[in-house]
A and B are shown apart, each in its own frame.
Chain A
């Protein structure tokens, strides 16, 4: 109880004040520059789920690329220009009619930054990290994805340096779609495995 009371101080600096103080202290001391910070922020803004969506669309349309992606996703993604921090060893997980893949990092929030982007808030939430390893079907159902009992769910825990991406099933009725049109059906949620690729009518 005393610890609880100790935690409620009235004079916490706000998060904005703490970030500004850290930034100013490091820059004033000459340890980093404004240009360094802009460099890394821009780098993060170039990592987008649209990158992974393009990888998936190519795998759906190019059998040779699909084979390379399943064999060595790191170099297959790099050949499309997607490489960098948290993308040093990428493994692509292909969904099949009887196997569904979903990714989590229970201990922090690791993702394959160059192909998925920085992780979204729901992926970083304690609720997702705690629950999806234990009750994946309930979590997926709550998120709008109902899977039949015939489909095995594989939950991939990002506990070491492998970074995963899911290749969802190609939606029916997309035979005539171009690679670009297919890529627009693949969301960040589908690349993580909490959603399917969108149907063509949506």
Chain B
């Protein structure tokens, strides 16, 4: 008999947004690491690609957000490819391609999936289809914090930086992940001084460059 965990509710600012989080330890590098360590990882990568490209079940933004909806404890403990599997299968179940009951019967135990999409996942941001900023402009990242998918990391929100490059137009992920309006916007490589981002940073010329969609930004002086 299967005992199921209590599903976590919709949450904002998920565990995935790790930049700047403290408390982690050393990083170990494996020399000449293979593409995959285990056969199941190889299969999982292929399932992730095939469900998006062959089945067209969901798009990449929906997929990234499904991983972001995993329970934080599950997310942090899972292998990368377990997160890939969990995000992919959560969408297959949500879109009716597979049932969780069938999968658990086949797997012989609990198959934990991601939590649900928030009811109001998107911040209201006016589309910015023509580029508003140029190289050299000072910009500030909006302090928005929507309950759904957003690719402006928390650590740069509210901070000012300088545009150092304008990239082509790409799908706006916040609406794309939530079946919203399809639009493309330019992204900008915005350089933030490390001393502005991190109060504990000693004085250096170091910086962090974040690739940000036009909608996430406002002019600064």
Contacts and interface: CB of A to CB of B under 8 A. Distances in A.
Interface residues of A, number: 82
A106 B81 CA distance: 16
B110 A13 contact: yes
A68 interface: no
A26 interface: yes
A155 B209 contact: yes
Given A17-B109, A161-B187, A25 B102 contact: yes
A89 B50 contact: no
Nearest to B16: A107
Interface in A116-136: 117-122, 124-131, 133-136
A44 interface: yes
Contacts of B104: 13, 21
B54 interface: yes
Nearest to A99: B205
Contact of B50 (A14, A32, A109, A136): A32
B89 interface: yes
A159 B20 contact: no
Of the four ranges (under 10, 10 to 19, 20 to 34, 35 or more), the interface on chain B belongs to: 35 or more
Contacts, number: 256
Contacts of B213: 160
A186 to B, nearest CB: 13
A124 to B, nearest CB: 4
Contacts of A153: 194, 204, 206-207
B17 A122 contact: no
Interface in A72-131: 85, 89, 91, 104, 106-109, 117-122, 124-131
Given A7-B74, A13-B107, A109-B80, A154 B210 contact: no
Contacts of B109: 11-14, 17
B5 A162 contact: no
B51 A107 contact: no
B5 A120 contact: no
A6 B21 CA distance: 26
A143 B26 CA distance: 9
B46 A38 contact: yes
Contacts of A11: 1-3, 109-110
Contacts of B25: 127
A149 interface: yes
A18 B170 contact: no
A121 B30 contact: yes
B24 A127 contact: yes
Contact of B207 (A118, A134, A152, A159): A152
Contacts of A15: 40, 79, 81-82, 85
B108 A155 contact: no
Given A13-B108, A41-B42, A107 B17 contact: yes
A25 B112 CA distance: 16
Interface of A: 2-4, 6-7, 9-26, 29, 31-32, 36-41, 43-45, 47-48, 85, 89, 91, 104, 106-109, 117-122, 124-131, 133-137, 139, 142-143, 149, 152-162, 188-189, 194
Given A22-B92, A129-B19, 8 more contacts: A4-B73, A9-B4, A21-B104, A26-B50, A41-B45, A131-B27, A135-B201, A157-B19
